[in-house]
Chains A and B, each alone.
Chain A
Amino acid sequence: MRALRFSLSLILAALATATFGQVTGDPEHGQQVWKKCAICHMMGPDARHRVGPVLNNIMSARAGGKTDYRYSKAMTAAGQDGLHWTEDTLDGFLQAPKSMVPRTKMSFRGLKSAGDRADVIAYIGLFSGGAMAAQIDDGFAVSADILAIEGDLEYGEYLSSECTTCHQADGNDDGIPAIVGWETEDFVTAMHAYKEKHRDHPVMQMITGRLANDEIAALAAYFKGLGD
């Protein structure tokens, strides 16, 4: 794995493109609140499961969905019953974890302040989807011309079928990242980062290797729309 620099300044730089849904909280304050979570959880490129699972890319994902973490039966069942992490469901869970998912392993009383919850959710959102990608691709840029290409949605829909063999169209993440609802710039940048082998993954390098600039734009437009 390529070493990735991670710093508060980078994260705050990413705020300009914080992309998950409507960010209502203040992620800068959320980072302070996160210290309570960080006793058990990690986020970021080098994160590992500890007492609790890694919380990268959990927004939109099914609860209990990290394949290599041993969840409580209750959390696994909640995910199987359809619980997905959104700002709303996380807000409910963080307010009183054991009320929402009885017998979860997470021994945390909850956050009473609605403001703290919104802020920490905004901060966690920075490690999901396009916002996470924007941080990984820091230092890699595509030209304004490429970013300005307007994607053809109909073509994007057809091309997307090559992606949805692995990336789920409804945004579920069972081990392969969700790619719906990203800001266009994040999506296009990530794809070009694979195409130019700035990012490592061999499947993605191969798939993007034969995608033309207008095809990447078409995919970005289509997958952005799927997140709405």
Chain B
Amino acid sequence: MSLNRRVFLGTTAAASAAMAAPMVMADGHGKPRVVVIGGGAGGATAARYIAKDSKGEIDVTLIEPTRTYYTCFFSNLYLGGFKDMNDLGHSYGGLAASGVNVVHDWAVGVDRDAKTVSLAGGGSLGYDKLILSPGIDFVDGSVAGWDITSQNAMPHAYKAGSQTELLKAQLKAMPEGGTFAMVAPPNPYRCPPGPYERVSMVAHYLKNNNPTAKIIVADPKPKFSKMALFQEGWGDHYDGMIDWIGEEFGGGSVSVDPGAMTLTIDGEETAVDVCNVIPAMKAGHIAEIAGVTDGNWAPVNAVDMSSKADADIYVLGDASQQGDMPKSGFSANSQAKVCANAVRGALTGSKVFPAKFSNTCWSLIDTNDGVKVGATYEATDEKIAKVDGFISQTGETAEVRKATYEESEGWYAGITSDMFGAKT
């Protein structure tokens, strides 16, 4: 019975594709070409799904400068000592094996008329569809006294890798009873619970290694993601260690001096030992170069993640301005699958199914104390709109929190194999 069904589906698909000729919508150069810029949760997923599902009908090239991708998600757990840096690193070998042409270079230009992408290494790649998934860059001047040349003295550690290792080294080198400061970012930014999970992980490290140390958080926002859960957890696990200074207490009026290692909040200067500055964010620079941004982000159509500025360009993940979804790896991965389905449909006539999006963000507060928030989304004419959601409750049992943490580990293994192909 299922065999009959399979055969039936196969023939109808072939027949309808034949009727919807031309089957290959490439402009006189053989196979249609997709170029993906950025090999993170959005780009790697999109490249893998288009290559996998088109079964060789589409040439897929992924441009990503780094040879090992360190996930930003779970990098706080490295700061807390729950993960090694190696646990966060992933190679692109699995993508290459699944048929993606992986180019380790920087994309430095996009010519939308000629439909080409130029590379720092000198070459240029033609495309029929271009997918931008460049993640975030920082807004110049958003934290007075800080710019990218200060990132060694005051790391952002908001692109995982050497910055994360640097912040961990500084945390370890803190004097006894020293002060760890964080300047939290304004909305919207990558990973809404991220700064607060980081505070929790830093507190976990300090509680075990430097228990008289203090943590100051200067925050331009009046409230933040999972606030009740984090504040409950900070009280339970790290009582008195964390001083969160929100908008109403001047947390948004901040300057830093990376040379003197001081942080000034609402006119009051404090000497700090470590200062984690997470500036305001914008779409990765290549989106700006491509001319698809409006303000800090790249507006997209919810139905397929296509840019509102160019129907042959798609923008995924953190860089996109899509509506209600948080900027997270899970969101980018979810958006990539909708986009891959649409791109494949446009280039080969394969069936395009309705967009469905979802997201869940897990955060770790202390050992075996995991919490999560999630939602489902749909495409409307205006935006990606939230349908339904849930959040962990305060006062949950230790058993529930432990199960939530274990689930997050399962999710990490799941999403990374969904992005990069199964581990062999």
Question: A: which residues have CB within 8 A of B?
Answer: 1, 67-68, 82, 150, 152-155, 157-159, 161-162, 164-170, 172-176, 202-203, 205-207, 209-210, 221, 225
> Which residues of the other chain, B, contact A165 by a CB distance below 8 angstroms?
330, 333-334, 358, 411, 414-415, 418
The smallest beta-carbon distance between A149 and chain B, in angstroms, is 12
- Cα distance A213–B414 in the bound complex, in angstroms: 25
Tell me if B127 counts as interface (CB < 8 A to partner A).
Answer: no
> From residue 374 to 418 of chain B, which have CB atoms closer than 8 A to chain A?
374-376, 387-390, 399, 402, 406-415, 417-418
**Which residues of chain B from 322 to 340 have a CB within 8 Å of any chain A CB?**
330, 333-334, 337
* A67 vs B356: C-alpha distance when bound (angstroms): 30
When the two chains form their complex, are residues A164 and B414 in contact, meaning their CB atoms are under 8 A apart? Answer: yes
B418 touches A207 (CB 8 A): no
Q: A67-B410, A153-B9, A174-B414 are known contacts. Are A162 and B358 too (CB-CB below 8 A)?
A: yes
Shortest CB-to-CB span from B248 to chain A, Å, is: 32
Contact with A along B71-83 (1 / 0, CB 8 A): 0000000000000
Q: Which residues of A contact B2 (CB under 8 A)?
A: 150, 221, 225
B356 touches A203 (CB 8 A): no
Contact partner of B410 among A176, A207, A210, A221, CB < 8 A?
A176
Among candidates A1, A67, A159, A202, residue contacting B409 with C-beta atoms closer than 8 Å = A67
The reply to whether B410 and A164 form a contact with Cβ atoms under 8 Å apart is no
User: Is the Cβ of B415 less than 8 Å from the Cβ of A209?
Assistant: no
The minimal Cβ–Cβ distance linking B97 to chain A, given in whole angstroms, is: 14
Interface bits B352-375 vs A (CB < 8 Å: 1, else 0): 010010101000000000001011
Asked whether B376 lies within 8 Å of A210 as measured between CB atoms, the reply is yes
Q: Are B376 and A207 in contact (CB under 8 A)?
A: yes
| B255 within 8 Å of A (CB atoms) | no
Q: Which residues of A contact B374 (CB under 8 A)?
A: 202-203, 206
Name which of B49, B372, B410 has the most chain A CB atoms within 10 A of its CB. B410
Q: Which of A175, A203, A221 contacts B360 (CB 8 A)?
A: A203
Asked whether A173 lies within 8 Å of B334 as measured between CB atoms, the reply is: no
Task: Give every chain A residue within 8 A of B358 (Cβ-Cβ).
Answer: 162, 165, 206-207
Whether B351 is near chain A, meaning CB under 8 Å from some CB there, is yes
Q: Which of B3-21 contact A (CB under 8 A)?
A: 5-6, 9, 13
- Chain B residues in 8 Å Cβ range of A154: 9, 13, 351
Chain A positions within 8 Å of B415 at CB level: 165-166
With both chains docked as a complex, state the minimum distance between the C-beta of B45 and any C-beta of chain A, in angstroms.
9
* Distance A120 CA – B353 CA, assembled complex (angstroms): 44
A-chain residues with CB within 8 Å of residue B407 when the two chains form the complex = 175-176
Of listed B388, B412, B414, residue having the most chain A CB within 10 A = B414
B-side interface residues toward A, CB under 8 Å?
1-2, 5-6, 9, 13, 49, 53, 330, 333-334, 337, 341, 351, 353, 356, 358, 360, 372, 374-376, 387-390, 399, 402, 406-415, 417-418, 422-424
A170 touches B422 (CB 8 A): yes
CB<8 Å pairs between A and B, sample of 14: A152-B9, A154-B9, A154-B13, A154-B351, A157-B53, A161-B418, A162-B356, A169-B422, A172-B413, A176-B407, A176-B414, A205-B390, A206-B376, A210-B387
- CB pair A164–B418 under 8 Å, yes or no, is yes
Bound CA–CA A195/B407 (angstroms): 20
Are A168 and B414 within 8 A (Cβ)? yes
Report how far A68 CA is from B422 CA in the complex, Å: 22
Residues B410 and A173 in contact, CB atoms below 8 Å apart: yes
Closest to A66 in B: B406
Q: Which residues of B contact A170 (CB under 8 A)?
A: 417, 422
Q: Other than the known A153-B9, A158-B337, A173-B410, what 15 A-B pairs have Cβ atoms closer than 8 Å?
A: A68-B402, A68-B406, A161-B341, A164-B414, A165-B411, A165-B414, A167-B414, A168-B417, A169-B417, A170-B422, A174-B409, A175-B407, A176-B414, A202-B372, A206-B375
B376 touches A168 (CB 8 A): no
Q: A67-B406, A206-B374, A206-B388 are in contact. Are A161 and B49 (CB under 8 A)?
A: yes
Point out the residues of chain A lying under 8 angstroms from B414, CB to CB.
164-168, 174, 176
A172 to B210, CA, bound (A): 39
Whether A158 contacts B9 in the complex (CB less than 8 A), given A164-B414, A174-B409, A176-B410, comes out as: no
Once the chains bind, are B356 and A159 in contact (CB under 8 Å)? yes
Closest A residue to B41 using CB positions:
A165
A203: which B residues are within 8 A, CB to CB? 360, 372, 374, 390
Chain B residues lying within 8 Å of A161, measured Cβ to Cβ, are 49, 337, 341, 418
The CA-CA distance from A115 to B211 in the complex, in Å, is 58
| Cα distance, A154 to B6, chains bound together (Å) | 9
- Closest residue to A80 on the B side, CB-wise? B423
Q: In the complex, what residues of B have CB within 8 A of residue A176's CB?
A: 407, 410-411, 413-414
Q: Which residue of chain A lies nearest to B389 when distances are taken between CB atoms in the complex?
A: A206
> Once the chains are docked, how many angstroms separate the CA of A140 from the CA of B93?
45
Q: In the complex, what residues of B have CB within 8 A of residue A164's CB?
A: 414, 418
